[in-house]
């Protein structure tokens, strides 16, 4: 059975205070990391050695890289995980400024879900045979604003031809409708005309147009 790193009696648990962080930073800056078992007592901390080590590695190191993971870091994590599996300390060793705990959390919260969404098994990095890619989105022919799509504007006098075998009947129907509309217009114009007797001036002009015969005795 593995011996505990330190005695649990009298040790402080929970969140670290600023004073504790500063004591740990000052001691490691002066003496180095050394042995984590004896470090808490030498630094004047009522903490266990494991707690001091994790606090230093994950939060207090001066070379810790802050901020979100970049795309190059994400690609490297995927490649290293395919080779090393869940050996987070080894993976973090290839990422300067990143901790093993930080890499593991980013894998579980982002990269793993992204691989599953693409149909890739995050354990062996192979394409899942049962994965079906989602169908491409279909374009609506009629927009939400109610606009009529191109090619759907038709003449009000003729109806669209749906079947090929009815083309001649539909064409004849269009001609009949046009002739009927034309006759209707002509009849309407004739009804507007009025019948009247010719005026006297018009009658005299007609008589003057006939040739005059001159008789000599």
Q: Are 72 and 53 in contact (CB under 8 A)?
A: no
| Model pLDDT for residues 105-126, shown as the tens digit of each residue | 999 999 999 999 999 999 989 9
CA distance 40 to 199: 134
User: Which residues are 127's β-sheet partners?
Assistant: 120
d(CA 195, CA 3): 130
Q: Is it the case that residue 156 has pLDDT exceeding 60?
A: no
Q: Measure the N-to-C terminal CA separation of the chain; round to a whole number of Å.
A: 170
Query: Band of the pLDDT at 189, cuts 50, 70, 90?
Result: very low
Which fold would CATH assign to domain 18-60? Arc Repressor Mutant, subunit A (1.10.10)
pLDDT at 214: 47
List the domain boundaries for the chain: 18-60, 71-127
11 confidence band (pLDDT: 50, 70, 90): confident
The pLDDT, as a whole number, for residue 161 is: 44
Residue 88 in contact with residue 104, Cβ under 8 Å?
yes
Q: What share of the chain is helix, strand, coil (3-state, %, to 5)?
A: 50, 0, 50
Query: Is pTM beyond 0.75 here?
Result: no
- Which of these ranges, 29-38, 58-67, 118-127, 202-211, has the smallest mean pLDDT? 202-211
Highest average pLDDT, of 111-125, 130-144, 159-173, 178-192, comes from 111-125
The H-assigned helical ranges of the chain are 18-31, 39-43, 49-55, 71-84, 88-93, 100-106, 112-117, 167-191, 200-208
Helices and strands (H and E) in the chain: how many: 9, 0
Among 33, 35, 37, 34, which residue's Cα sits nearest to residue 5? Answer: 37
120 pairs with which residues across the strands?
Answer: 127
pLDDT tens by residue, 77-86: 999 999 999 9
Asked if residue 23 lies in contact with residue 12, where contact means CB atoms within 8 angstroms, the answer is no
How large a percentage of the chain has pLDDT more than 90? 42
Choices 1.10.10.60, 1.10.510.10, 3.30.1360.20, 1.10.1200.10: CATH for 71-127: 1.10.10.60
Cα atoms found within 13 Å of the Cα of residue 62, Cβ hemisphere only: 6
pLDDT, greater one: 129 or 187: 129
Q: How far apart are CA 199 and CA 182, in angstroms?
A: 33
Query: What pLDDT does 129 receive?
Result: 74
Give CA–CA dist 176/184, Å, rounded. 12
């Amino acid at each position: 059975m593995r011996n505990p790193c330190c005695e649990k009696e009298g040790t402080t648990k929970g969140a670290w205070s600023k004073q504790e962080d500063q004591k740990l930073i000052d001691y490691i800056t002066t003496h180095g990391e050394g042995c984590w078992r004896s470090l808490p007592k030498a630094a004047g901390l009522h903490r266990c050695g494991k707690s001091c080590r994790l606090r230093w590695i994950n939060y207090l190191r001066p070379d810790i890289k802050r901020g979100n993971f970049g795309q190059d870091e994400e690609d490297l994590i995927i490649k290293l995980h395919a080779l090393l599996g869940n050996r987070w300390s080894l993976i973090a060793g290839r990422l300067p400024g990143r901790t093993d705990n930080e890499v593991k959390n980013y894998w579980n919260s982002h990269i793993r879900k992204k691989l599953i969404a693409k149909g890739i098994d995050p354990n062996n990095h192979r394409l899942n045979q049962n994965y079906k890619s989602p169908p491409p989105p279909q374009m609506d022919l009629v927009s939400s604003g109610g606009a009529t799509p191109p090619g759907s504007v038709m003449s009000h006098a003729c109806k669209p031809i749906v079947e090929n075998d009815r083309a001649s009947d539909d064409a004849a129907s269009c001609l009949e409708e046009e002739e009927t509309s034309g006759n209707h217009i002509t009849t309407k114009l004739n009804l507007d005309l009025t019948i009247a007797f010719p005026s006297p001036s018009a009658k005299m002009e007609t008589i003057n147009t006939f040739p005059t015969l001159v008789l000599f005795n």
